[in-house]
Each structure stands twice: as C-alpha cells, then as structure tokens.
Amino acid sequence: MPTAYVIGLGKSGNAAARLLKREGWQVTVSDRGLSDSLLQQQQELMAEGITVKLGDTFDPTATQPDRIVVSPGVPWDLPALIQARQMGIETLGEMELAWQHLREIPWVAVTGTNGKTTTTALTAAIFQAAGHRAPAFGNIGYAACEVALLEDRPDWAIAEISSYQIEASASLAPQIALWTTFTPDHLNRHHTLENYFAIKAHLVSQAEYQIFNGDDPYLQAVGQRGQFPVREDAWWVSVNGKENLVGDPLLGFYIEDGWVRTAKELLLPVNLFKMPGAHNRQNLLMAIAAARLAGIEKGAITHAVATFPGVPHRLERIGTWQGIEWINDSKATNYDAAVVGLASVKAPAILIAGGEAKAGEDTAWIAMICEKAAAVLLIGSAAPTFAQRLETVGYTSYEIVETLEAAVPRSLDLAKQYQAVTVLLSPACASFDQYANFEQRGDHFRQLCQQLMG
C-alpha cells in the first residue's frame, strides 16, 4: 500500500487525509501542535484508520513516504519540504490534490491580494442561481479536498486561491482565472514582491480565460506593457467606464451611466448591488464577467446580485445602535484592505485597529485615518508601533486599549464624545497574536457589539 504523509491538521489537512484514505493510501498526519482541538481531531481520524502524530516535526529521511501533502499554512520552503523534493518524493499542496480529483469539471479560480472572498462568494451565488452545483471553497467555505469528497459532483468548482495554495499547486489550470488586486502582502513568506507576483501569475497563465481588475494600478501597468501573464485575449473590468479599460474594449465589462455593461449589451443597474465602495463594484464586475464567460444568463445574474447578502468579516454591518453603525471588517488583515474599509464607511468614525503587524507600506492608511477617523483604539501586539507611527504625523487622538473587550465599550464613549456615526473594526493586521484567525476575531467583535446593544 502506498504511503502518504499530510503535514498540518485543521480543515484542509483533515480533508486531504480522508481523501487519500478513500483512494487506498496508508495515511499519516503530522502537526507540531498539541491543543485540545488537535487532540479531538486526532481521535476522530484515528477512529477512521488514519495515523496522527501531534507535537511532531516532519523528517523526510526518517519517514520516506511515497507522497507528501501540505496544508496551506505550512511554508512551501520549509527545509524538510525542500529536502523531500530533492529526494524525489512527490510533494504537493492540498489544493493540488483536490485539483487532481476534480480536474474533469471546469474551475473558476479567484486570486489577488484583496477582494478574493467577496468575488468568490458572489461568483458562487451567481452560478448557483443559474442552477449549477457550484460550491465556494479554498479560503472560503469548504476546504478544497472536502469538495472532492462530496457525493454529488459539482458542475463548477469556484475556488478562492491564495499565494500559499498556488505555490504548492503546479498543475492547476482553471477554465476562468480572476485576478482582483495586487499590492505587497505575505512578504514574510514570499520574501520579494516579484516572487509574490510570479506565484499568482503562474496560476493565471494556465487559465483558458483571464479576467483582470483594470482599476488596480499594478495590474493596469502590467497589462499596458503586455507583460506576463496577460494575454491579448484577456478580459478587463473597470468601474470608470469603457475609456479606462485596458486592451480591446470589446473584451471588457464596465460601469457607465449607472449600468453594468459590455460594449454590446446592458447587463444590470449597478444599484441592485448593496455592498458599499468602489472596490466592491470591481468585485461585482469580475464575478459578472466570469458568469457571462461561463454562459450564464442575465436573469440569474441579476437575481443573485440583487439578493447577495455580502460576506462575514468584510464590511459586515452588525447593526445600528444609538445612531452609530457598527461594522466588522476583521478580514482587513493588511494596510491596503484597511484603507478600503475606512474609505467605505461614513465619517467621522471610531477605528479599532491592531493585531500582529505585517510588512507593508502604511502611508495611504495613515492618511485615511487622518481624513476619516475621529479617534483610533489600538489593540494587540502592534499597538505601541502604531501609536508611534500616528505620533509621527501629529495624530494624537488614539488610545492603546490592548483588547477588543476594552475597545468595544470605549468606542461607544468616544463615538458620543466626537459625534461619530461609525465604529469600525478594520485591523490592518493579522490576528494570530490574540486569535486563531480573522474569523474568530470578527466573531468576537460581533458578540461584544451585540452584548453592548443589549
């Protein structure tokens, strides 16, 4: 029996282990952790005949499996994985494993620095409104291998794919690839902007149809120069009208006179879409472009857009209380996403920011704070650094409160003091200093707000 070694538990690792087990592999799962959650997962998998090693550091020379499958959170350049590849051991990511089992159905792959989740969720909603089995998965919804395990095979695979997943998925070739935005992120893992770009470009280059956000400055410049991976038959979108499309205007989706349209047809009034901000209109255009290229009729698109509720943790409206709107933007884990979040809400706002800081350029974010935030409450390990940064530009209306438990009630006091109309959690940081992920952070913020509202 061939042997497979899965590195990393959690949703992706569990699904990969179960898929391999179903396909006749002898499976071992390895994870460095020893938490109660991991112990429970260990018991469940062991009951299914899958070996689980906790507190384990993978050593390819000691185990020498026939195949290694890597969960998305495990660095691809881990020395043990580099060594395994040098030894000739087949090494692939969980997304690539799912692709190998689902490659006979068409894929829509959504990548980019920001905007992936909303675009993926809306794309899936449109395909589902057209009657397709089209689950959203990857960084949203299902793990990729969970979809491969479904009894009912999907008609379309709608995948949100991060750079972490792409670099471990060499052969993944979607029918339609969407590139939402490109700004510096994950440089602690990918080291250079060029490497980060090349990883995403690899996926998009293998697609039959390419869709790019023409309002993103970096992607626009790449398209105008005709650089890899942009092909001449690539499709572009722009919220700023036909004149702002990159390339052939006949290969474009744009907004003009309040309508989403192409050069040949009107599609729907843009005001049917309820999510705020120009960035969400870009996401809307990309999802509609994917749907039309897949042959989906206008009626299904219009229905899905009009009824789309948005996604949790991305400008998620928790409620209005005492004349203040409370908004959860926990998914804003970098400066660029946080700029978009703050730009999209009504001012004056009380901003809650901080967490585990990432490398990146913060100038636009600081400028947006100065423009729209009446006060800033700082949480997490980044709080002292952010405080110093705000001081350098003369912004002194900040407080270090350390935790969301302290930030939420204090934000109400400050909103009354400054007559603010919005309280916004938009951290500009990862969550790992205080939470397992941004979802847990956003759920906690929502819970605290609802408790405050009684």
Domain at 22, CATH number? 3.40.50.720
Burial of residue 321 (CB within 10 Å: 0-12, 13-18, 19+) is middle
Are 145 and 182 in the same domain? yes
- The confidence score (pLDDT) of residue 362 equals 95
- pLDDT 10s digits, 120-175: 999 999 999 999 999 999 988 899 999 999 999 999 999 999 988 999 999 999 99
3-state secondary structure of 155: coil
How far apart CA 177 and CA 273 sit, in angstroms, is 23
Task: Enter the tokens of residue 108.
Answer: 């829509």
Question: What is the chain's length?
Answer: 454
pLDDT less than 50: residues of the chain: none
- The confidence score (pLDDT) of residue 454 equals 85
226 φ, ψ (degrees, to nearest 5):
65, 35
- The confidence score (pLDDT) of residue 191 equals 63
Are 153 and 264 in the same domain? yes
Please say which residue of 307, 331, 363 terminates a domain.
Answer: 307
Are 372 and 436 in the same domain? yes
Strands (E), 305-450: 316-321, 324-328, 349-354, 373-379, 398-402, 422-425
Give the β-pairing of 90-93 and 266-269.
Answer: unpaired
- The confidence score (pLDDT) of residue 183 equals 85
Please say which residue of 254, 283, 307 terminates a domain.
Answer: 307
Give the global pTM. 0.88
Are 428 and 395 in the same domain? yes
- pLDDT 10s digits, 391-437: 999 999 999 999 999 999 999 999 999 999 999 999 999 999 999 89
Q: What is the CATH number of the domain that holds 298?
A: 3.40.1190.10
Are 27 and 139 in the same domain? no
Are 323 and 302 in the same domain? no
- The confidence score (pLDDT) of residue 356 equals 95
Report the domain count for the chain: 3
- The confidence score (pLDDT) of residue 140 equals 87
Are 203 and 290 in the same domain? yes
H helix or E strand, kind and range, residue 450: helix 438-452
Minimal CA–CA distance to 154: which of 136, 129, 169? 136
Please say which residue of 249, 275, 307 terminates a domain.
Answer: 307
382 φ, ψ (degrees, to nearest 5):
-80, -10
Task: Enter the tokens of residue 97.
Answer: 């494993």
Could you tell me the residue range of the domain that residue 161 belongs to?
96-307
Are 152 and 224 in the same domain? yes
Burial of residue 442 (CB within 10 Å: 0-12, 13-18, 19+) is buried
Are 293 and 190 in the same domain? yes
DSSP string computed for 370-412: HHHEEEEEEESTTHHHHHHHHHHTT---EEEEESHHHHHHHHH
Q: What is the CATH number of the domain that holds 335?
A: 3.90.190.20
Task: Enter the tokens of residue 197.
Answer: 């770009």
- The confidence score (pLDDT) of residue 118 equals 94
